[in-house]
Structure 1
Amino acid sequence: MSVNNYFATAGLLLLMTTTPALAEGDAAAGEQVFNKCRACHTIDEGGAARVGPNLYGVYGRQAGSNEDFAARYSQGLKDAGFSWNAETLPSYLANPREVIQGSRMAFQLRDEQEIADVIAYLKSQGGQ
């Protein structure tokens, strides 16, 4: 197992063992929470990437798989091997660099309700 695969596997196991019980999310409230993310991300269908990838349709998508951002993902995200969903997003949003070795995302959401709300919003924006 390569070092990158080791970290991706360890990150996935961490996600599965440390994900808090997800509160019910409110997409409208999540849209407001997402304003904290707009400095780095867009969420418009067909929108351009900024510092981070466009997040339209991210819910249900394989981590590190947005082709328009492929060259800029960290190796850890490229090797993550999981999809963004209600099980994987909470821990990542709370502490991305702990979950994905080499993640470039430094921003963290600390409030569990804000995390649930922004996940509901992401799901409502082209999510699967």
Structure 2
Amino acid sequence: MKFAVLAGAALLAAAVQPARAQDAAAGEKVFAQCRACHQVGEAAKNLVGPALNGVIGQKAGAHEGYSYSAAMKASGLVWDEATFAEYIQNPRAKVAGTKMIYAGLKDEKRVADLLAYLKQFDAAGKKAE
């Protein structure tokens, strides 16, 4: 009985822990592969893809000055962590018809780190200290 209680407590503790710790410094390294198409920071501009300042919390397909696919504009998505993580793992599966040609980032830890890095930038590109 004592073992069952301890095992149950351990499972409950594991369930309330975040799935992966986020590391913004590691996320900056992951973002290096995104830089061919995207920028962040105060001087960020749209390239092949939109600037990603303040992306978490934004409505998908709405960054000013970028020409999105009809599919992205009609997606109805709002970029929260879960939605972004699902999208970046397989963009074309999440939004069929997206212009993004990236094959996807499959490693959950690297996705979490990338999110930590991107979350540092507000909509104006100012990095949280």
Q: What's the TM-score bracket when you normalise by the shorter of the two chains?
A: 0.7 to 0.9
Q: Aligned equivalents of 1:45 and 1:79: distance in 2?
A: 28
Counterpart residue type for residue 73 of structure 1? Y
Counterpart residue type for residue 62 of structure 2? S
SS at match of 1:87: helix
Percent identity among equivalent residues? 43
- Who is 2:30 aligned against? 33
Q: Aligned equivalents of 1:85 and 1:124: distance in 2?
A: 14
- Which of the two has greater helix per residue? 1
Q: How do 1:25-104 and structure 2 match up within 5 A?
A: 25-69=22-66, 72-104=67-99
Q: Aligned equivalents of 1:120 and 1:85: distance in 2?
A: 12
Kept in 2: contact 1:22–1:86 (CA 8 A): no
Kept in 2: contact 1:22–1:116 (CA 8 A): no
Q: Could you list the structure 1 runs, at least 4 aligned residues long, displaced by more than 6 angstroms after superposition.
A: none
Q: Deviations for 1:69-120, whole angstroms, at most 9, x for unmatched residues?
A: 1xx2011110111211112011100000000011111221111111000011
Equivalenced residue count is: 105
How far does residue 122 in structure 1 lie from its aligned partner after superposition? Answer: 1.0
Q: Aligned equivalents of 2:121 and 2:112: distance in 1?
A: 15
Runs of 5+ in structure 1 lacking a partner?
1-20
| TM-score (structure 1 length as normaliser) | 0.76
Q: Aligned equivalents of 1:100 and 1:57: distance in 2?
A: 20
Runs of 5+ in structure 2 lacking a partner?
1-17, 124-129
Query: Which of structures 1 and 2 has the bigger CA Rg?
Result: 2
Counterpart residue type for residue 78 of structure 1? K
Kept in 2: contact 1:33–1:114 (CA 8 A): yes
Q: 1:110 to 1:90 in 2, by over 3 A?
A: same
Counterpart residue type for residue 42 of structure 2? E
- The structure, 1 or 2, with the larger RCO (C-alpha pairs under 8 Å, 6+ apart) is 1
Counterpart of 2:120 (choices 106, 115, 124) is 124
